Amino acid sequence: MEKMLMKGNEAVGAAAIKAGCKYFFGYPITPQNELPEYMSRELPKNGGTYLQAESEIGAINMVFGAAGAGARVMTSSSSPGIALKQEGISYLCGAELPCVIVNMSRSGPGLGGIQPAQGDYFQATRGGGNGDYYTPVYAPASIQETVDLVQEAFDVADTYRTPVIILGDGMIGQMMESVEFKDIQKRRLPQKDWALKEHVEKGSKKLINSLYIKPEEMEPHLQKIFGKYDVIKKEEVRYEKFNCEGADVVAVAYGTVSRIVRNAIKKLEEDGIKLGLIRPITLWPFPFEAFDEISPETKAFLSVEMSMGQMIDDVKIANAGRLPVEFYGRPGGIVPKPIEVVDKVKEILGGAK
Amino acid sequence: MEKMLMKGNEAVGAAAIKAGCKYFFGYPITPQNELPEYMSRELPKNGGTYLQAESEIGAINMVFGAAGAGARVMTSSSSPGIALKQEGISYLCGAELPCVIVNMSRSGPGLGGIQPAQGDYFQATRGGGNGDYYTPVYAPASIQETVDLVQEAFDVADTYRTPVIILGDGMIGQMMESVEFKDIQKRRLPQKDWALKEHVEKGSKKLINSLYIKPEEMEPHLQKIFGKYDVIKKEEVRYEKFNCEGADVVAVAYGTVSRIVRNAIKKLEEDGIKLGLIRPITLWPFPFEAFDEISPETKAFLSVEMSMGQMIDDVKIANAGRLPVEFYGRPGGIVPKPIEVVDKVKEILGGAK
Amino acid sequence: MAFTEEVIFAGFGGQGVLSMGRMVAYAGMLKGMNVSWLPSYGPEMRGGTANCNVIVSDGLIGSPVVADADTLIVMNRPSLDKFESWVRPGGKILVNSSLIDIKVTRDDVEAFYYPVNEVAAECGNLKAANMVMLGAYIKHRSFLEENDLLGAFLKVFGEAKKNLLPLNEKAVAAGATLV
Amino acid sequence: MAFTEEVIFAGFGGQGVLSMGRMVAYAGMLKGMNVSWLPSYGPEMRGGTANCNVIVSDGLIGSPVVADADTLIVMNRPSLDKFESWVRPGGKILVNSSLIDIKVTRDDVEAFYYPVNEVAAECGNLKAANMVMLGAYIKHRSFLEENDLLGAFLKVFGEAKKNLLPLNEKAVAAGATLV
Amino acid sequence: MSIVFERTRGMVDMPLHYCPGCTHGIIHRLVAESLVELGLMDDAVCVSSVGCSVFTYNYFDCDAYQASHGRAAAVATGSKRVLKDRTVFTYQGDGDLAAIGTAETVHAAARGENVTIIYVNNAIYGMTGGQMAPTTLVGQKATTSPNGRSAELQGYPIRVCEMLSTLDGTAFAERVSVHNPANVRKAKKAIKKAFEVQTAKQGFSIVEILSTCSTNWGLNPTDSLKWLEDNMIPYYPLGNFKTPEEN
Amino acid sequence: MSIVFERTRGMVDMPLHYCPGCTHGIIHRLVAESLVELGLMDDAVCVSSVGCSVFTYNYFDCDAYQASHGRAAAVATGSKRVLKDRTVFTYQGDGDLAAIGTAETVHAAARGENVTIIYVNNAIYGMTGGQMAPTTLVGQKATTSPNGRSAELQGYPIRVCEMLSTLDGTAFAERVSVHNPANVRKAKKAIKKAFEVQTAKQGFSIVEILSTCSTNWGLNPTDSLKWLEDNMIPYYPLGNFKTPEEN
Amino acid sequence: MAQGKVTFREDRCKGCGLCITACPKQIIFLDKNKINIQGYNPATVEKMEECIGCGNCALMCPDLIITVERF
Amino acid sequence: MAQGKVTFREDRCKGCGLCITACPKQIIFLDKNKINIQGYNPATVEKMEECIGCGNCALMCPDLIITVERF
Ligand SMILES: Cc1ncc(C[n+]2csc(CCOP(=O)(O)OP(=O)(O)O)c2C)c(N)n1
Ligand SMILES: Cc1ncc(C[n+]2csc(CCOP(=O)(O)OP(=O)(O)O)c2C)c(N)n1
Ligand code: SF4
Ligand code: SF4
Ligand code: SF4
Ligand code: SF4
């Protein structure tokens, strides 16, 4: 297919439609508005339905209804809107409903600001709703990757009957880059025989439910769900490891900020310093295995985030005490400049400062 | 004062009133209903106001209004209701408003079950709302401790201008134990000169706000807030360390399940096995320092939770790769029996199985 | 050696089983012991059954959940079915034989059958059946006396219910004579 | 050595600065280069200013944020005030002198002043001022030609706006002659 | 010999978990009978809400969702948009629908969402043990209005049918009661009509059914019927508020 | 020489961030003038909402809150319950109040919460760039209803005053417009009356003000006034819907 | 001469008495001598010959346990 | 003979034209020859002597920049 210059938000929409998404329930919020707007234009042309809900809570519960009816369905929002969806996401997980949820995040807490930030890492990876659950979280770093991962996300959702989160930020949503819609490799998807159908099969009553009033029934339900999580942890971990062999420092960074780290890597090369990069593509499951091999030259891990430090918890767990774990973060909507990362690395190495 | 036999939920109410709480905004949910019910009876007698909101979201935003007006204010709920409050909590943190939020948690995800569970650890400690923030979280293990911590919580909230969470569960809320209302040591609290007053001071316009549209202003705002967190981490960590010296295994457990571990400790003594216990009383800040000294005899940490495993993340961070970190969990509303913990410990030690 | 008594009270909603537990716990507390009381809760109550766990101990109480009861008090049949296996070997089961027409099947526990409804009716009020059972109970487990229970009654129900004291006194005494 | 051009376009909302950036990015992409386009967004747009960052490179593009611009194109005065310092030493600033009556103050950059509003008016439509500026821009940075821009125009505005092509052709050409 | 009345096949043959005399049971039956008589039972989709009626999904012999508290109308929306030919209905209490679910309800109505709402108004939170509901009458005692609801402090009960009737998307709204056989018959008529409105794709339909909660009202079941008649009906007048024009 | 009109001291002397011709500015002025004239300005508490008017807290010369999207009525409730003698008002757009904030608004009204709601209805989401609002007219184009709002798919706009007037707790409800000087004068009267209702502790008061959004309607400011008059007023009739009885 | 016949599914009766209030003939009562497995006194009819088969009792029974036949 | 006088705070004018529609005398217009610091053509009055001081323009100005005086 022809290359196109597309805005991240619209690319998400196009990718979703390509992946067979037929329903979208949204509510406006900056910086993701172009996505519902795109869907309102394009979905009807593709035999789908766009509906604007009364709120994020309305939207996520409409997703619950549509997903329970077997539809490929998506919703999107940004940080505070995702916070409002937490109960709904918890229900989707409890009822094992597949869907894709997009967070083009901004800075918080509270109303905060609307510039790109990564302060929703915990919200996305630690199930900020109630109870025991996780959702796969994809963090693309370019529009092309966004497009690829969105398509993947729908398949992963259906394979494991789970909501999947795409965690972008204002920059991913707003920027344009060239994209190509490749035919991604299709998975063999299980039949949705648990879903409500347009035509009822007599005698097989379907129930979409997250209530297990007896602990003796709730526990096995959870164990079943966590059994799937074990498979996801084995099969679906994705990350990129770059420049790590013999690196002086290995940075860990995802999404937007990983691109800044790439610039820093180049700049540091000029000074003869080797900076490696572990870029988690799935934030959950976190790519712990990427940390297994550490070069003897490596003196520290450096978690670089557009936040006050959240992924660093996972980096610490992955590191398991072997090396110092350092942090460089710019929160509040500031995208750090490559030179800041450069300086931090030099500081760690006892260089400049 | 005389000892009384009180239900956890009512004890929370009594302690709050004793601490000068004058406003309570609630919404019914099992297993915390006796708390709003108590408040609706007792607050008016104590010159306060109880108001039932239209929802948990209504309630948390009423808290925002009352806290901004300088009142000592409380709300309570249980797991899914707390999930709904996440955006509100994020706003309270962003606007730096003090209040106390009680979660008598039940099992999830989704509607789940109503029996005691600890699946809201992440929800409480990782700021499940949007953006960068934390809230102090107290996890009492007895009704007496609940009463003491609730009173403390109000002072901590005011000292640092932050919401404080009391994380109990159905058992803490529903059980009765004897309590005494001791006069807790009073802190010197800062003036609430940031709050709206009944009588306006001309020329000093007060604003309760979490919006910082410019990243250059949002970042320092966050740094100020995280500066307070640093103080909280230094001053407010609370935990109990029991039987750890020379222990074969050290269990880490909070709240309800820590009591089960205590029974297990006794039982194991009979078999000549020494089980230690680190009981975090503050879940955030997590008592990392409690893990600093490990006896050479200790072979492993064992995180015991009424969940699929959440606190274990913090235990791993605390452990920093020194010992194996094992897990025993019963989710879904099941309170494990002491013998289960006993068996797990033996299994770890290569004993019975 | 520390004294600990772990009891399960179970029956229909209206039979006052939660109150029985509260009275025992309160009485224990008033005697200076540590106590805990833990009720069942939730929509199962709509089904009409209720139960509670009570622990009285002169040591610290770990889990308030009674997994191996010293004593089980059952006021109706479903409760016996449900909780019979929750008693430790050597423990006691006190059965309300007015409503339960079957027998305890285990032979490693002691079972006692008291027609507390009839006895309560004789005392003048069927509602006092729970007090009759408590009267019997304290004879079995001698850490409480009749007076302790009546003191606890006032604490649990408040001075407003003082007028019911004579009836309850009678019921407790009648229960005690059953043993 | 890899080619990379980093540009900032800035001006009032109605001046088409976001489109200028998109056209340059699109043209770069059509020539097989990697490109990124990043707009400002948010309530500041209510204030009526807009800007975007464009990067064109034959290597991989790291951060799409332009921190040290090779070229700055400013269409109104507040934009010059705001972005003057964002240009790398040795970079260029293209100033819409129709609306900006002050001069660039830095002496480590090259500044050029083009009265693009007037030129556009001469071409027949004041709205084409941005195209005039683009015409000048591509003379400064020779990775694009006039035709590339016009091809990109069709991509950005769609076939429906084909009728505007002649006007834009004229404007681009006029701009080119300014340099 | 002919059968005058027998258990509807629209309900699964199992005991109901409700308290003795709780009129939720009557309402269940009316819904099931209506769907069966209209030939819609197999195709029906029940969205159960959170309240005493949370287990309706077990009782109705059709596909079902268990929706989060208050959001049944949104779940029904999502479901009906996909399953356009099925009969989608919610079954909600007054706490669920008129408190936490206000926005979802109002907007499903405003959108003219082609679903049916069975709204059971018992003027209290039943499941959670008798707290004040948005429909609790002024003066009525509840566990969170121990001295009776005070208009001054807690305001006034919401009349849902009247409120929703101001919305153009509401096609059908009627309030009925089940406190005696005559009203039970009327209630069934309204429920049937509501489903017919959906089948005819005429838009949003709601039937508000006044119901008892003897457990939390602190009355016995028969006194509860009387209390409903004497206290609720005067504030919540029975009748039709909106119905699609015949054509 | 006398001053006929000058800037009210109720507003901080700073430029407004609104688009050219946005009638939010007129409404701000009316609110400030009303408060000043009633002697309530110093005591006023403004609860700003999320929408184009999010920065009202900067403009009104009084204490303020910035509330989360849709929850201004709940924040006002919490505030007023503590600050019983202050004049608490919210300033909310139609997306904020009539979409996400429906439950909070309805219940503040039902409770008869003694606060005043300034409700600016411009039939669109302004701040976020022109998406369909619950008040967008049928046929009206918006970025999420690119072919115009379809009644069949997206339903009908909500008339907030009519809806809230069904609630006993609503003491005062009036819809006004600011599309010409005569209506601006009427709007101010309504706003003043609403504040007076609060001062007299008579309960919940709301003024719905029809407003323009030329940016997102895609019209110039003066055509926007005309569009408002020709299209909004027929669907949203001006007038008083509820007012406390005089005594 | 009876026109109708009512049958109760006794085990499921909760003794709520709603059928009693609905019966125009006042022939239903709770059998205080019986306790069903749920612990309630179930509803019953002694003078079945007075039943007119109106079905009102069944209409009011919340537990769907009444069947009414008519001759 | 003028009855009124209008003053504009020109820098803050956004050239929206609402004042123009409100003026019964039609004496306000946007000055195409001026661009204020915000980039707008500000409103202005030339024939001030025709102003009747009705205040309508100020009533409609969303940016609170008009002051009206009457003699
Ligand atoms: C988010 C959330 N909040 C609160 C609850 C607790 N809850 C369960 S049922 C219920 C309300 C029940 O009242 P109603 O809807 O009137 O139905 P009824 O039980 O009276 O039939 C509530 C508040 C919950 N499950 N989830
Ligand atoms: C929870 C949440 N959802 C969505 C948003 C995004 N948002 C900001 S303003 C707004 C609505 C603006 O519309 P309206 O209330 O009509 O006011 P207007 O801008 O038209 O004056 C929305 C949806 C948000 N900030 N928070
Ligand atoms: S609590 Fe009330 S509503 Fe719930 S089942 Fe019992 S009587 Fe019915
Ligand atoms: S977008 Fe609309 S509502 Fe917002 S300031 Fe501009 S004109 Fe006003
Ligand atoms: S109405 Fe039904 S449940 Fe109630 S007493 Fe009669 S038969 Fe029994
Ligand atoms: S109304 Fe005000 S802002 Fe608009 S043109 Fe007139 S003076 Fe300028």
Q: What mean pLDDT comes out for the span E148-154?
A: 97
Lowest mean pLDDT among B94-103, E236-245, H34-43: H34-43
B1 falls in which pLDDT band (50, 70, 90)? low
Q: What mean pLDDT comes out for the span E183-192?
A: 98
Is the model's pLDDT at C43 over the cut of 80? no
Per CB-CB distance under 8 Å, the chain F contacts of B66 are: 78-79, 81-82
Domain B240-348 has CATH 3.90.550.10: no
H1 falls in which pLDDT band (50, 70, 90)? low
The CATH number of residue E159's host domain is 3.40.50.970
Per the structure, how many domains does chain F have? 1
Residue ranges, chain D, pLDDT below 50: 1
Is the model's pLDDT at A353 over the cut of 70? no
Question: CA dist A308 to A84, A259, A303, A334, Å?
Answer: 22, 19, 11, 11
Q: Which domain holds residue C69?
A: 4-115+141-157
Query: Which ligand is in closest contact with the Cα of G63?
Result: 5
**F59 lies in a domain?**
yes
Q: Comparing A4-235 with A240-348, is the CATH topology the same?
A: yes
Distance separating alpha carbons of residues A108 and B218, to the nearest angstrom = 9
F90 falls in which pLDDT band (50, 70, 90)? very high
Does F52 contact D46 at a Cβ distance shorter than 8 Å?
yes
What atom of ligand 3 comes closest to residue E23's alpha carbon?
8
Dihedral-angle region of residue C158 (phi above 0 means left; psi in -120 to 50 means alpha; beta otherwise): left
Q: What mean pLDDT comes out for the span F191-204?
A: 98
What are the DSSP E strand ranges found in C13-106? 34-39, 49-57, 69-74, 87-96
Beta bridge partners of A264: none
Distance separating alpha carbons of residues D44 and B22, to the nearest angstrom = 41
The third-level CATH classification (topology) of the domain covering B4-235 is Rossmann fold (3.40.50)
Is the CB of E208 within 6 Å of ligand 1?
A: no
Contact yes or no for B165/A113 (Cβ under 8 A): no
Q: What mean pLDDT comes out for the span A307-324?
A: 98
Contact yes or no for E194/E235 (Cβ under 8 A): no
Q: Quote the pLDDT of residue D12.
A: 86
Q: Quote the pLDDT of residue D158.
A: 87
The CATH number of residue G18's host domain is 3.30.70.3270
State the helix-helix crossing angle for B143-160 and B8-18, rounded to 10 degrees: 40
Tell me the per-residue pLDDT of A98-147, one tens digit each, with 9 for 90 and over.
999 999 999 999 999 999 999 999 999 997 899 999 999 999 999 999 99
Closest CA to C72 of C48, C102, C93: C93
Distance separating alpha carbons of residues B112 and B306, to the nearest angstrom = 14
Burial of residue G18 (number of CB atoms within 10 Å: 0-12, 13-18, 19+): buried
Dihedral (CA of A320, A325, A328, A332) sign: positive
Distance separating alpha carbons of residues D100 and F111, to the nearest angstrom = 57
Q: Provide the edge-to-edge strand list for the sheet that holds D4-12.
A: A4-7, A176-179, D34-39, D49-57, D4-12, D69-74, D87-96, D110-114
Average confidence score pLDDT of chain F: 97
Distance separating alpha carbons of residues D18 and D11, to the nearest angstrom = 9
Q: What mean pLDDT comes out for the span B8-29?
A: 98
Q: Which domain holds residue G25?
A: 4-70
Per CB-CB distance under 8 Å, the chain H contacts of D48 are: 38-39
B352 falls in which pLDDT band (50, 70, 90)? very low
Q: What mean pLDDT comes out for the span H19-44?
A: 92
C118 falls in which pLDDT band (50, 70, 90)? very high
Tell me the per-residue pLDDT of A316-348, one tens digit each, with 9 for 90 and over.
999 999 999 999 999 999 999 999 999 999 999
**E91 lies in a domain?**
yes
Closest CA to A327 of A346, A349, A351, A345: A345
Quickly list DSSP for F163-200: HHHTSTTEEEEEEEE-SSHHHHHHHHHHHHHHHHHHHT
Contacts of A116 (CB under 8 A, 6+ apart): A31, A105, A106, A107, A169, A170, A171, A172, A256, A306, A333, A335
- Compute the count of residue pairs across chains C and G with CB atoms less than 8 Å apart: 6
Q: What mean pLDDT comes out for the span A50-76?
A: 98
- C-alpha distance from H29 to closest chain D C-alpha (Å): 21
Is the model's pLDDT at B185 over the cut of 80? no
D34 interfacial to chain A (CB closer than 8 Å):
yes
Beta bridge partners of A26: A52, A76
**E97 lies in a domain?**
yes
Print burial letters for F202-239: b (CB count within 10 Å at least 16), e (below 16): bbbbbbbbbbbbbbbbebebbbbbebbeeebeebbebe
Is the model's pLDDT at C51 over the cut of 60? yes
Distance separating alpha carbons of residues B162 and B100, to the nearest angstrom = 9
Pick among F55, F100, F158 to test the A interface (most A CBs inside 10 A):
F100
Ligand 6 pocket at CB < 6 A: H 8, 13-19, 43, 60-61, 63, 65-66
Report residue F202 as tokens: 């008579």
Distance separating alpha carbons of residues A176 and B142, to the nearest angstrom = 56
Q: Quote the pLDDT of residue E245.
A: 86
The residue whose CA is least distant from atom 18 of ligand 1 is: E126
Contact yes or no for A157/A99 (Cβ under 8 A): yes
Per CB-CB distance under 8 Å, the chain G contacts of E21 are: 14, 16-18, 62
User: Looking at chain A, how many residues does it have?
Assistant: 353
**φ and ψ of A230, to 5 deg:** -60, -40
Does G38 contact C48 at a Cβ distance shorter than 8 Å?
yes
A352 falls in which pLDDT band (50, 70, 90)? very low
Using DSSP bridges, classify how beta strands E204-210 and B325-329 pair: parallel, antiparallel or unpaired: unpaired
Q: Quote the pLDDT of residue B127.
A: 78
Is the model's pLDDT at F65 over the cut of 80? yes
Q: Quote the pLDDT of residue C1.
A: 47
Does G35 contact C99 at a Cβ distance shorter than 8 Å?
yes
Burial of residue C157 (number of CB atoms within 10 Å: 0-12, 13-18, 19+): middle
**C14 lies in a domain?**
yes
Quickly list DSSP for B13-65: HHHHHHTT--EEEE---TT-THHHHHHHHHTGGGT-EEEE-SSHHHHHHHHHH
Pick among F2, F3, F4 to test the H interface (most H CBs inside 10 A):
F4
Does F1 contact H53 at a Cβ distance shorter than 8 Å?
no
Contact yes or no for E171/E112 (Cβ under 8 A): yes
Tell me the per-residue pLDDT of A223-256, one tens digit each, with 9 for 90 and over.
999 999 999 999 999 999 999 999 999 999 999 9
The CATH number of residue C91's host domain is 3.40.920.10
Q: Which domain holds residue E36?
A: 24-242
- C-alpha distance from E81 to closest chain G C-alpha (Å): 33
Contact yes or no for A71/A51 (Cβ under 8 A): no
Distance E96 CA to ligand 1 centre (A): 6
- C-alpha distance from C45 to closest chain E C-alpha (Å): 9
Is the model's pLDDT at C160 over the cut of 90? no
Contact yes or no for B268/B231 (Cβ under 8 A): no
Dihedral-angle region of residue B131 (phi above 0 means left; psi in -120 to 50 means alpha; beta otherwise): left
Distance separating alpha carbons of residues F39 and E89, to the nearest angstrom = 52
What atom of ligand 5 comes closest to residue G28's alpha carbon?
6
The full set of domain ranges for chain A reads: 4-235, 240-348
Is the model's pLDDT at A1 over the cut of 70? no
* Helical segments of A43-78, H only: 56-68
Using DSSP bridges, classify how beta strands B249-252 and F170-177 pair: parallel, antiparallel or unpaired: unpaired
Question: CA dist A201 to A146, A194, H8, Å?
Answer: 38, 11, 74
Closest CA to A61 of A17, A30, A27: A27
Is the model's pLDDT at B220 over the cut of 50? yes
Per the structure, how many domains does chain H have? 1
Distance separating alpha carbons of residues D153 and D142, to the nearest angstrom = 18
Quickly list DSSP for A93-121: HHTT--EEEEEEEEE-STTBEEEE--TTH
ipTM (interface predicted TM): 0.97
E216 falls in which pLDDT band (50, 70, 90)? very high
* Helix, strand and coil in chain H, % to nearest 5: 25, 25, 55
Query: Which ligand is in closest contact with the Cα of B79?
Result: 1
Is the model's pLDDT at F107 over the cut of 90? yes
Dihedral (CA of H31, H34, H40, H46) sign: negative
Nearest CA in chain F to B210: F66
Residue type, B158: D
Per the structure, how many domains does chain C have? 1
Ligand 1 pocket test, pick from E69, E131, E137 with the greatest ligand atom count within 8 Å of Cβ, gives E69
Q: Quote the pLDDT of residue B234.
A: 98
B42 interfacial to chain E (CB closer than 8 Å):
no
- C-alpha distance from C179 to closest chain A C-alpha (Å): 37
Residue A168: other Cβ atoms inside 10 A = 32
The residue whose CA is least distant from atom 2 of ligand 6 is: H61
G38 falls in which pLDDT band (50, 70, 90)? confident
